[in-house]
Structure 1
Amino acid sequence: MNGLEIRELECFLVLAEELHFGRTGERLYVSQSRVSQLLAALEQRIGARLVERTSRRVRLTMLGERFLAELRPSYDELAATVRRAREAARGVDGTLRLGFQGTADARLMAAIAAFQERHPACVTEIVEIPFADPFGAVRHGEVDTAIVLLPVEEPDLVLGPVFSRQEQTVAVSVRHPLAACDSLTVADLERTTLIAATAPAPAYWRKAQAPSSGEALEVRTLQEGLTMVAAGRGAMLLCRPTASYHGRRDVVYVPVEGVPDSVLGMVWHRDGETERIRAFARALAAVE
């Protein structure tokens, strides 16, 4: 590690992506000859060639391939450590893009208010994310973090505070035979068509929102599902707060027994954690 130059490592990493000295220089804002100098210095430090260069192509040596595989995760972690330290030093500012599914309940709104009061330099943007794509907005960088219905079994996502455990209801048309029941059971769900999210929501998540082995109709949005319910096409499982928020005269919400409670959780991408996200997670966890 004696005399290790970060610029040499950065040059090698970019060159390994571009396999072109000119484009590498453009990305690093240095000349092509400077790229050659940095690479030569790194190869001299290591004691072997990392890159083979001919008049027609550039490619990594076997040692270069192995060095790249070991260097990349270490460099990324180092860069993330520096980024986190910089964010912590300057405080929480900028913009936090927060996604939510269905209904932004009272606890979420209280957490947003507490976060804004504690960090006035950070603007919170609240975005509704699709019912049928709970994790896509986080993965595609459209939001920094999202409040989604559990379960969450995505290896690239971090599950933060879990909250808002609520009893489930079944939304049915006022004309549906189950509308007159005081409560329903899992057996009742097995005898009716349930309405569930379509892909890209993962299969395990869709199954949790429509826990029946019977026929299911798939929808993309919550409003699309409620419209199908009102038309008598099927029944839809909803938590009590969402049912209350989306009350309508042509739909009845009947309590259901024997199914797990609805639970919300905060998720973010494992590679995209920031001080803003951590600060909001603390605010959300602190709300009673």
Structure 2
Amino acid sequence: MDDLETRELRYFVAVAEELHFGRAADRLGIAQPPLSRAIRKVEHRLGVQLLARDRRGVALTDAGRVLLDEARTALDAVTAAARRTRRAADPRRPLVLATKAGASHELLQRLLDLLAEDAQAAPIEILLCEVAEQAGLLRDGSADVALMHHPYDDLAGFDTEELSVEGQVAILPAKHPLAARDQLTLAEVSNVPDLPIARWPQLDGTYPDGPGPEVHTQSQLAQLVALGRTLLVIPASSRAWQWPEHVAVPVVDAPDVTTVIAWRPSSRSQEVAALVRSATALRATA
């Protein structure tokens, strides 16, 4: 029998992420022996080894890595189902729109202005987040729709409508010599010894190799640029958070960025459908 309980999936995810039974047990608030027994029962039921155990510690097998990915997805779905069910029971609830803080500011303002003119439109709550967090917020039910950006955001599994396409700019310290340029190329901004490009987490949570600082938030990044420690290349519309100590210079050969509105394909909400229609209507007035 292949059925797995959500409790068993949570146990396995904790061990797989900690790679240590003691730390996983502490994280779950249970004793280690029942945790070990639960994982062995899952392995026996599935007929596979999920974890390689030796004196050096614990490591995921190929089967374990697959179950970790699937378990995270399944647990997100369970959490989202409960959250959406509670939200659906409240007729006064607003629609939650997730968007990266500082991104697509003008587009978002135009959308909110358009909705304000429609007496039938559902109320909107704006959920500002950091880079690449929109997908998780949609999947776990925290958000109903999201403004996202191709090719940077994870759009897998969502329905989307394209809203705008734009170029990118380099955000530089105002005192840096490159800030006086009318335009730059990717090769130029990628090879500035005293100003390495900031590194954001990738879709899998890891950071790309490079000398630039690892950044987690927009405010952290803004200050590092102002201090002359890094530069970044971002969509032109993301300049909304630009500080006086920053200068934006177009990067002429950077790939275009497409802003989309995304939602779960399983959504049957008329309010979500109406919001998507309003957002796509903005294309005609752009």
* TMscore range, shorter length: 0.5 to 0.7
CA distance in 1, matches of 2:103, 2:274: 22
The Cα of 1:173 is off from its aligned counterpart by 1.1
Tell me if the contact between 1:171 and 1:253 (Cα under 8 Å) persists in the aligned partners. yes
CA distance 1:256–1:16, shift in 2 (3 Å): closer
User: Equivalent residue for 1:168?
Assistant: 168
CA distance 1:157–1:217, shift in 2 (3 Å): farther
Residue 196 of structure 1: SS of its match in structure 2? coil
User: Equivalent residue for 2:229?
Assistant: 233
CA distance 1:96–1:119, shift in 2 (3 Å): farther
User: Equivalent residue for 1:145?
Assistant: 145
CA distance 1:178–1:169, shift in 2 (3 Å): same
1:222 aligns with 2:222: no
User: Equivalent residue for 1:96?
Assistant: 95
Tell me if the contact between 2:199 and 2:210 (Cα under 8 Å) persists in the aligned partners. no
Residue 161 of structure 1: SS of its match in structure 2? strand
User: Equivalent residue for 1:109?
Assistant: 109
Report the TM-score when normalising by structure 1.
0.58
1:196 partner letter: R
User: For each residue in 1:135-154, what CA deviation from the matched residue of structure 2 results, as whole angstroms up to 9, or x when unmatched?
Assistant: 22112221111102222554
User: Equivalent residue for 1:59?
Assistant: none
Q: Where in structure 2 are the equivalents of 1:1-150 lying within 5 Å?
A: 94-101=93-100, 102-118=102-118, 120=120, 122-150=122-150
User: Equivalent residue for 2:43?
Assistant: none
Residue 138 of structure 1: SS of its match in structure 2? helix
Count of residue correspondences:
195
1:99 partner letter: A
1:155 partner letter: A
2:231 partner letter: A
CA distance in 1, matches of 2:154, 2:242: 31
Tell me if the contact between 1:93 and 1:121 (Cα under 8 Å) persists in the aligned partners. no
1:166 partner letter: E
CA distance 1:17–1:225, shift in 2 (3 Å): closer
CA distance in 2, matches of 1:121, 1:170: 37
CA distance in 2, matches of 1:17, 1:255: 52
The Cα of 1:203 is off from its aligned counterpart by 7.3
Tell me if the contact between 2:121 and 2:274 (Cα under 8 Å) persists in the aligned partners. no
Bigger radius of gyration, 1 or 2? 1
1:253 aligns with 2:248: yes
Tell me if the contact between 1:129 and 1:137 (Cα under 8 Å) persists in the aligned partners. no
1:96 partner letter: L
1:157 partner letter: F
User: Equivalent residue for 1:278?
Assistant: 273
1:236 partner letter: L
Report the TM-score when normalising by structure 2.
0.58
1:198 aligns with 2:193: no
CA distance in 2, matches of 1:149, 1:236: 16
User: For each residue in 1:40-83, what CA deviation from the matched residue of structure 2 results, as whole angstroms up to 9, or x when unmatched?
Assistant: xxxxxxxxxxxxxxxxxxxxxxxxxxxxxxxxxxxxxxxxxxxx
The Cα of 1:172 is off from its aligned counterpart by 1.0
CA distance in 2, matches of 1:222, 1:263: 20
CA distance in 2, matches of 1:261, 1:239: 8
1:268 partner letter: W
Tell me if the contact between 2:104 and 2:238 (Cα under 8 Å) persists in the aligned partners. no
The Cα of 1:96 is off from its aligned counterpart by 0.7
- Percent identity reads 23
